[in-house]
Structure 1
Amino acid sequence: MTLTLHYRFGLMTACLLLMAVNACASEAPESSTADAPPAGTVAVPAALETKAVATANADAADDPAIWAAAAGTTAILGGETVQGFIAGTDKKAGLYFYGLDGRELQFLPEGLLNNVDLREDVSVAGRKQVVIGASDRGRMGVALYLYDPSSTDPANQVRRWGFIRSDLDEPYGFCLGKSGAELHAILIGKDGQARQYRIDSTGGEPRGIEVRRFAIGSQSEGCVVDDGSARLYIGEEAKGLWSYSFAPDGGDQRKLVQGVDGSGRLVADVEGVALMRDADRTFVLVSSQGDSAFAVWQVNGKAPIYRGRFKVGAGVDADAVSGTDGIDARGGMVGTFPEGIIVVQDDENDGQAQNFKLVDWREIRRALGL
């Protein structure tokens, strides 16, 4: 009698577990479970830092984006000859542009901009331009800007281009992506609602044509598009990192790359998400704000593979990073960094207003054994 009850109870439990697995198959973790996380979290030094944003004593600096001139070339921005720049939001005041040495080159007093991203080699009015976009919580939409990297005008600067109005209650997360020659914007509301717009500039002024809307589920912000694989990665702050299709008909189907599950890989809040291309390898880097760290996955294979996590400690010319939010990454030659950099927001900037820290990618690669 007892054996029969145990058998029936075990059978029922197995069936219920099987039903739960089948029901959640579309949201199963996509990362390899065979790769155990390395012991601990490695430390890498900050190489240098940007000037602090002007909004002091507030949660202000938020998200960076990196542009670099081709190796051996320069450009003009803010009256300076530069090898690239870092765009960084002060979400209380506007958009900064810093040199790769951290100096301020330009500031656009655009108000409540939250996240920023860019794409280069976009044809606008017959010229290859850098398009910069940002989520705008003041005007409720996407603010768009242009930079001409080939201009020889000493006064060459980033200039306003246009605006895409959205029906989201509070535009929050933002990223750009290219599908062939088409430029698309992903805009995420603070409540987890998302919109995808195709940016059409055939008439001169940019127009945002909505091609997709979906719901992430709860508060979300960080996102990045892998143009090559047509994948969209989104950080849901309390839940984890998700992988979506970037295609307009991708709907809301997704796979969980990593959850906030007690493994220690991601600690809520999950914030910035960035893509690093390193030769033939592609990595996704994610801000684990809950413990001021960053987690790394290699994503150029059949499934994401967890490669470890790191913290940014003090360097010769910068203090350590804490409470980090936004992150961006760029591989290859970036100014004086021969193999790439990452740029991260720093919450507590040694007694000053918040700013952004630069880290040599070689330090991260060496520390994680990549």
Structure 2
Amino acid sequence: MTVGTGSPVAAAGETAAVGTKVRDAADDPEIWADPRDPSRGVILGTDKQAGLYVYDLAGKDLQFLPEGPLNNVDLRDGFEVGGRKQVLIGASDRGRGAISFFLLDPDNLQARLWGRTPVKVSEPYGFCMGRRGSETIAIMVGKDGDIRQLNITDQGGQPAATLTRSFDVGSQSEGCVVDDEAGYLYIAEEAKGIWRYSLDPATGSARVHMAPAPSPELTPDVEGLTILREMGKTYLIASSQGDSAFAIWRVDGEPAYVGRFSVMPGAGADAVTGTDGVAALGGRVGAFPEGLIVVQDDSDTDGETTEGARARQNFKLVDWRAVKAALGIQ
């Protein structure tokens, strides 16, 4: 992969490389900052050959859960189990045909496996979570674009899932994200772009083709999707894997394209190429006063090529302020 074609933004840090070497491994990140104290929190990252990493907000290893193969990861906090609110983490489990659920203790930042819920799809691939009223929702994206929407509850100390909707996107899909406030579900069909659905199961498969691909904004494969909220504004960020860039739309009203950026060397980290998953969180996140973006890098060592065996993959940290400056976001 070549260095990205978007407006250049320097990396602000990185995680250690995932432990699986000489194989496609690092995939999808997620971020949680403690609402009581945003200086503390975690970055999650899947190693799709091995399990789930938990990093601190500077990218340092805190914990590894060897529960792989896990592909995509998402979370929602304030989920009550046994009378105590915890952070519910879910990940698509390709080996077991299930969602693997974890609980993160917000006090000690330790995660543990909670349980697994089987889901029948072509192959567990993409995954995201959301909230609709009091409901906690999980979305499983099958590799062939077959979608299952489920409500997740605690039943006697174990996760339980109730299927509420099934539909098909059309072809291979992975990235998805839920905008809880607007009630939208966004899904990336890798060769065709981004679709927007209502989160309401009663709407079935009705959808809007929000951003087609290939296009000036998106070069297939279209991969990870994430939502960043800041000061009443909501942004959708998409991973344009084909040209190692990230496209941004403002989506708190009618979708409006903002621009594209690519991650260049900075803070001792190399440039991001062939990127897959992406996560973002607005507001104060650790040392990032206005927001943090975390992206997968498919080649952590300078000089590696797509033709040879790749020894390292990891996740890069990006300061939202740098992205706003590069794209002129006010």
Q: What's 2:30 paired with?
A: 65
Q: Which TM-score applies when normalising by structure 2?
A: 0.94
- Displacement, 1:71? 5.7
Looking at structure 1, the residues matched to 38 and 209 of structure 2 have their Cα atoms a distance apart, in angstroms, of 40
Looking at structure 1, the residues matched to 269 and 34 of structure 2 have their Cα atoms a distance apart, in angstroms, of 25
The number of residues matched between the two structures is: 317
Mapped contact 2:38–2:286 kept (Cα < 8 A): no
SS in 2 for 1:201: strand
* Larger relative helix fraction: 1
The structure that has the greater radius of gyration is: 1
Q: What's 2:314 paired with?
A: 355
Q: What's 1:341 paired with?
A: 292
Q: Give the residue type in structure 2 aligned to 1:107.
A: F
Mapped contact 2:122–2:146 kept (Cα < 8 A): no
Q: What's 2:261 paired with?
A: 310
Q: Give the residue type in structure 2 aligned to 1:236.
A: E
- Displacement, 1:264? 1.6
Q: What's 2:127 paired with?
A: 174
Looking at structure 2, the residues matched to 178 and 332 of structure 1 have their Cα atoms a distance apart, in angstroms, of 20
Mapped contact 1:71–1:333 kept (Cα < 8 A): no
Q: What's 1:243 paired with?
A: 196
Work out whether 1:264 is the aligned partner of 2:216.
yes
Query: Which among 230, 250, 271 is matched to residue 320 of structure 1?
Result: 271
| Range that drifts further, 338-347 or 64-73 | 64-73
Q: What's 1:119 paired with?
A: 76
Looking at structure 2, the residues matched to 73 and 91 of structure 1 have their Cα atoms a distance apart, in angstroms, of 28
Q: Give the residue type in structure 1 aligned to 2:220.
A: A
Q: What's 1:7 paired with?
A: none
* Larger relative strand fraction: 2
Runs of at least 4 residues off by over 6 Å: none
Q: Give the residue type in structure 2 aligned to 1:298.
A: R
Q: How does 1:73-88 map to 2 (within 5 A)?
A: 83-88=40-45
Deviations 1:217-236 (A, max 9, x none): 00000000000000000100
Query: Which among 311, 314, 324 is matched to residue 365 of structure 1?
Result: 324
SS in 1 for 2:321: helix
- Displacement, 1:102? 1.3
Mapped contact 1:67–1:85 kept (Cα < 8 A): yes
SS in 2 for 1:143: strand
Deviations 1:80-125 (A, max 9, x none): xxx1111100000000001111111100101210000011111222
- Displacement, 1:317? 2.2
Work out whether 1:289 is the aligned partner of 2:241.
yes
- Displacement, 1:179? 1.1
Sequence identity (%) = 55
- Displacement, 1:142? 0.4
Structure 2 spans left out of the alignment, 5+ residues: 303-310
- Displacement, 1:167? 1.2
Note the aligned Cα RMSD (angstroms).
Answer: 1.3
Work out whether 1:106 is the aligned partner of 2:63.
yes
Mapped contact 2:38–2:285 kept (Cα < 8 A): no
Q: What's 1:47 paired with?
A: 12
Work out whether 1:330 is the aligned partner of 2:281.
yes
Structure 1 spans left out of the alignment, 5+ residues: 1-39, 75-82
Q: What's 2:185 paired with?
A: 232
